[in-house]
Amino acid sequence: MAVTFTDRARNSDLLKWEVEHRYCRTAGTIQNKSGVTIVKGAMTVGLPVKLVGTQWVTVAAADLANTGGLLLVDDAAAIPEALAADAITAKTYQILTRGPALINKSIIPTTDLAGAAITLATLVTRLATLNIQTMVEPTSAMTSVQEW
């Protein structure tokens, strides 16, 4: 029997190159502006965010042209808490805010937190203005065969 394991995306899956992490990244808490309560782990690597005042907030699919960066989640776990609408994460997270940088666009989530489809072309255009270039890297799967 073949078993296929699917693992969540990690920073290294999204971010392929950056000139210097102290230049290309910032840190901040994230506010859930999706209008819905989200479950634990819903905020993942590559989620578009923007800065409103001094607070980083999630970006709705209709507002991708105003994206200010992409969420980077440490390799230990996705954002661990469930968040009510307008709630703010307890932990501070890294955000890729500018390049020169190269990302794998196939890791970017396909929907926003409310479930609306993300238009990748709009986001890629916006990221280019931040000097964040995109590429597509083939996805991989690990298959393990176990004999019973």
Domain boundaries, the chain: 9-138
Cα–Cα distance, 110 to 48 (Å, whole number): 11
Q: For the segment 21-71, what is each residue's pLDDT rounded down to a tens digit?
A: 999 999 999 999 988 998 888 888 999 999 999 999 999 999 999 999 999
What's this model's pTM, rounded to 2 decimal places? 0.85
| DSSP reduced 3-state for 123 | helix
Return the structure tokens found at 19: 């000139």
| DSSP reduced 3-state for 130 | coil
Quote the CATH superfamily of domain 9-138: Head decoration protein D (2.40.300.10)
Grade residue 139 by pLDDT with cuts at 50, 70 and 90: low
* Cβ atoms of residues 60 and 34 within 8 Å: yes
Name the residue among 29, 65, 48 with its Cα closest to residue 105: 48
* Cβ atoms of residues 87 and 29 within 8 Å: no
